[in-house]
Structure 1
Amino acid sequence: MAKKGILLVNLGTPDSPSTADVRKYLDEFLMDPRVIDVNPVLRTFLVKTIIVPFRAPKSAKLYRAIWDEKTGSPLLHYSMLQQQLLQQRLGDGYMVELAMRYQSPSIDSALQRLKEALISDIQVIPLFPQYASASTGSVQEKVMSIVKEWQTIPNIGFLNSFHDDDLMIETFADNAAKYQPDTYDHILFSFHGLPQRQLKKCDHTGNYCLKVDGCCNTLNDINKLCYSAQSHDTARLIAAKMNLPRERYTVCFQSRLGSDPWVQPYTSEIIEKLAKEGKKRLLVFCPAFVADCLETVYEVTTEYGEEFKALGGEHVQLVESLNDSPKWIDALERIVKKEVNTTAKTPQLV
Structure 2
Amino acid sequence: MEKSAKKGILLVQLGTPDQPTTRDVGRYLDEFLMDGRVIDIPNFTRALLVKGAIVPRRAAQSAATYKTIWDKETGSPLMYYSVKQQQMLQEALGEEYHVALAMRYQNPSLPDVLAEMENMLLDSIRVIPMFPQYASATSGSVIDRVMEIVRKWQYIPSISFVNSFCEDDLLVETIAEHAQRHDLSSFDHILFSYHGLPVRQLEKINPRADKSCGESGCASCRETTNAFCYVSQCYATTRALVKRLNLEEGKYSVCFQSRLGKTPWIQPYTSDALHDLATAGKKRLLVFSPAFVADCIETLDEIQVEYADEFKALGGEEVAMVESLNLNPKWIASLKRLALNERN
Q: Fold conserved (TM > 0.5)?
A: yes
Percent identity over the alignment?
Answer: 55
Map of 2:299 onto structure 1: 296
Please list, as runs of the form range in 1=range in 2, the aligned pairs for 1:34-183 lying within 5 A after superposition. Answer: 34-183=37-186
The DSSP-based 3-state class of the residue aligned with 2:221 is coil
Displacement after TM superposition at 1:152 (Å) = 1.2
CA RMSD of aligned residues (A): 1.6
- Aligned equivalents of 1:228 and 1:212: distance in 2? 10
Contact 1:11/1:101 (<8 A) preserved: yes
Given candidates 200, 203, 208, the residue that maps to 2:206 is 203
Please list, as runs of the form range in 1=range in 2, the aligned pairs for 1:245-264 lying within 5 A after superposition. Answer: 245-264=248-267
Per-residue Cα deviation, 1:247-303 (whole angstroms, up to 9, x for no partner): 110100000100000000000000010001110100000000000100000000000
Note if 1:331 corresponds to 2:334: yes
**Letter of the structure 2 residue corresponding to residue 53 of structure 1:** P
Note if 1:8 corresponds to 2:5: no
- Aligned equivalents of 1:292 and 1:177: distance in 2? 18
The DSSP-based 3-state class of the residue aligned with 2:47 is helix
The DSSP-based 3-state class of the residue aligned with 1:92 is coil
> Which ranges of 4 or more aligned residues in structure 1 deviate by more than 4 Å?
206-209
- Aligned equivalents of 2:139 and 2:214: distance in 1? 25
Quick check: 5-14 or 111-120, which moved more?
111-120
Per-residue Cα deviation, 1:82-132 (whole angstroms, up to 9, x for no partner): 000000000011000000000000111111121222212000000000000
Note if 1:26 corresponds to 2:26: no
The DSSP-based 3-state class of the residue aligned with 1:161 is coil
Q: Cα distance 1:220–1:45, how it changes in 2: closer, same or farther (>3 A)?
A: same
Displacement after TM superposition at 1:211 (Å) = 8.6
Contact 2:193/2:257 (<8 A) preserved: yes
Map of 1:313 onto structure 2: 316
Which structure 2 segments of 5+ residues have no match?
none
How many residue pairs end up in the alignment?
A: 340
- Aligned equivalents of 1:310 and 1:116: distance in 2? 55
Contact 1:190/1:267 (<8 A) preserved: yes
- Aligned equivalents of 1:22 and 1:127: distance in 2? 21
**Letter of the structure 2 residue corresponding to residue 123 of structure 1:** R
- Aligned equivalents of 2:146 and 2:225: distance in 1? 27
Given candidates 193, 196, 219, the residue that maps to 2:196 is 193
- Aligned equivalents of 2:133 and 2:203: distance in 1? 16
- Aligned equivalents of 2:204 and 2:336: distance in 1? 32
**Letter of the structure 2 residue corresponding to residue 107 of structure 1:** L
Contact 2:218/2:235 (<8 A) preserved: no
Displacement after TM superposition at 1:204 (Å) = 3.7
**Letter of the structure 2 residue corresponding to residue 130 of structure 1:** Q
The DSSP-based 3-state class of the residue aligned with 2:50 is helix
Displacement after TM superposition at 1:245 (Å) = 1.2
